[in-house]
Chains A and B, each alone.
Chain A
């Protein structure tokens, strides 16, 4: 196991280099439609060309592209993601907290989605072909077909008329005045809406996977054996069947995370949630390239780590799996 993790971590190196290269290449393409400084000149024609050249030189933008890339790579190795053009602060300041917020949103959605989908999937499989099963399956299909930006809009609509939940942001105006417990509750309260908006999509898919897997397992010989031994039905399902049906879902975890990070980008933009997806959109529109590249890089790192954790988790819950 340890050797496997080590090998994966070593392989991470070339993968990260590939990711930085693609991020860089995408940004180079983006420069075709004018870079930050050209936009600046358009907005403030009074800035002298000399000042612009000075700014360019300050950010190292006067060098040939490949030198810029190597410099950027060199700085990343030292965990320095460069300076933001528009905020004039290190990119790390900006993306650190934003990435944490996105991670918080993704994980809370993941937890909520699993907590809802697994029991419903089990119920559906155990009561196969019943009316409830039909309704749940139809509901799952609906959930899969609702884009996260539309579910966010619908929830916003409901929240606006019921006045039950805060509509925007992650914290209240008086956040800084609250006690530590109050702060926690405030953030939790603000998380409800985005979590549901983002989680709905996952619930549908997870539920269907759980149902299919459990139905497969319920046909297995060892379930028959357990029943034949006189194990109570409840125990057969929960201890013998579900335990085995849940393994493939763990692999899905990494895949889910990718979808959640993408979906979070919408939810963040609609619900004014201060996350990575919103930052990257703002930075893209401002052509603040170091922020964009940093966000792309950090998003991918989150995804890769998620996949790694999923693989390790899988080996942990399923002793049949050996990574050697």
Chain B
């Protein structure tokens, strides 16, 4: 008995100690650190999206630029010190030299250095799609090439193509959210608001959709797309396929939220003042789900990016000549190729990074907006 009491007291003290170890200040610091991670991720994403917008300016070469002599060239090192140990004021590269024609091994030709020219004039393009320009961030004089991430089997610059491909990879998530969320919100709202037969019909369709392994359905629907579509139309069709498959999960959760919001007094007041049902749903009920929706949106985007790169990787998403990170990674499909030329895996790394940033951001946003779901 006494022993029990002593043990209880000891446990209590332990608890107190444990509580003291986490003072409010420490908790706040921890929260801040979490937000910091989310904040850094948010800033990183913003930078990536800006680079995406100015891809033509940042990319050293155009989308269809090829150097047939230099296929599978390794990443070119940008140097400051030359082979003789002298420092240069400007960063420079060496031209490639074919060391072994059989294995297609290249080495640097150290006999001459080629300076990097910043903001130099190069191929013409339209900035943001309408401003004619010909200034590029970095250029080198031929015959040297600025293949910072190496080149592919046609001698195309991987970095430039990754920059152009980022358009598809980064935008598809946002497009899908813009299509899916209105559908999911309205259908979920209607199902929760009316109940009865409408609810039944909508929810049973959601169940049927949820019963498929998502990717099987995506695969099947993506092969439907005719090969003759323009690349922009194809991107939108792929986004439509994702939306067709993805609206169900959101609708189900919105329905659950609406079921409880529907009973609140302000909804009753809105209905009593004679507003139409749709107006009550859209203007009064759905705004209460905003914090959930924002969190869901930040966490949906990385999922879609993943799905698109998967489809393109398997060759049924985005098609040449347009490109995306998944399609670029598809060049690494055979073991013999990517073990010899490992830089072809870099687009995969880009995918991982962007998804990681989105996950961190989503986690932080959830903590900030939805304390009930806060992870400890």
Contacts and interface: CB of A to CB of B under 8 A. Distances in A.
Interface of A: 14-15, 18-19, 21-23, 26-27, 29-30, 32-33, 128-129, 141-142, 144-147, 149-150, 153-154, 156-157, 160-161, 167, 208, 212, 215-216, 224, 227-230, 258, 261-263, 265-266, 269-270, 277, 280-281, 284-285, 292, 295-296, 299-300, 302-304
A47 B276 CA distance: 62
B335 A299 contact: no
Contacts of B123: none
A229 B211 contact: no
A153 B223 CA distance: 24
B7 A228 contact: yes
A295 B216 contact: yes
A230 B3 contact: yes
Interface stretch (B44-52, B85-93, B95-103, B350-358): B350-358
Nearest to B14: A227
A154 B349 CA distance: 10
B202 interface: no
B226 A258 contact: no
A281 B314 contact: yes
B213 A154 contact: no
Interface residues of B, number: 55
A151 B348 CA distance: 9
Contacts, number: 154
Contacts of A227: 11, 14-15
Contact of B310 (A18, A29, A147, A215): A147
A167 B216 CA distance: 24
Given A30-B224, A145-B356, A228 B216 contact: no
B209 A22 contact: yes
B266 interface: no
Interface stretch (B58-66, B74-82, B111-119, B337-345): B337-345
Contact of A304 (B11, B205, B211, B216): B211
B212 A22 contact: yes
Contact of B213 (A149, A258, A269, A281): A258
B342 to A, nearest CB: 7
Contact of B214 (A26, A146, A258): A258
B376 A149 contact: no
A19 B212 contact: yes
Contact of A26 (B11, B22, B215, B224): B224
B8 interface: yes
B323 interface: no
B204 A33 contact: no
B4 interface: yes
Given A22-B212, A230-B3, A141 B359 contact: yes
Contact of B220 (A215, A229, A270, A296): A296
B197 interface: no
Contact of B211 (A32, A285, A303): A303
A165 B331 CA distance: 23
A263 B216 CA distance: 10
A15 B211 contact: yes
Nearest to A158: B339
Contacts of A153: 329, 332, 338, 345, 348
A228 B332 CA distance: 59
A216 B309 CA distance: 36
A167 B335 contact: yes
Given A145-B352, A147-B355, A215-B376, A157 B338 contact: yes
- Nearest first, the 5 closest Cβ-Cβ pairs linking A and B are A230-B7, A262-B215, A18-B208, A261-B213, A145-B356
A296 B217 contact: yes
B15 A224 contact: yes
Nearest to B5: A228
Listed residue (B14, B220, B314, B352) with the most chain A CB atoms within 10 angstroms of its CB: B220
A78 to B, nearest CB: 22
Contacts of B209: 22
Contacts of B11: 224, 227-228, 230
B317 interface: no
A251 B2 CA distance: 43
A296 B342 contact: no
A32 B224 contact: yes
15 contacts: A15-B207, A18-B207, A129-B30, A141-B356, A141-B360, A145-B356, A145-B359, A157-B345, A160-B339, A161-B339, A212-B375, A215-B376, A265-B219, A300-B211, A303-B211
A296 B220 CA distance: 9
A277 B215 contact: yes
B1 to A, nearest CB: 12
Contacts of B53: none
B227 interface: yes
B12 A15 contact: no
Contact of A262 (B3, B213, B335, B355): B213
B189 interface: no
A54 B210 CA distance: 38
Given A280-B219, A281-B314, A300-B211, A160 B335 contact: yes
Nearest to B208: A18
B32 interface: no
A284 B220 CA distance: 7
Contacts of B4: 229-230
B257 interface: no
Contact of A22 (B208, B227, B302, B351): B208
B356 A229 contact: no
Contacts of B226: 32-33
Nearest to B3: A230
A280 B216 contact: yes
Nearest to B212: A300
A281 B219 CA distance: 7
A229 B306 CA distance: 50
A19 B220 CA distance: 14
Contacts of B352: 142, 145-147, 150
B106 interface: no
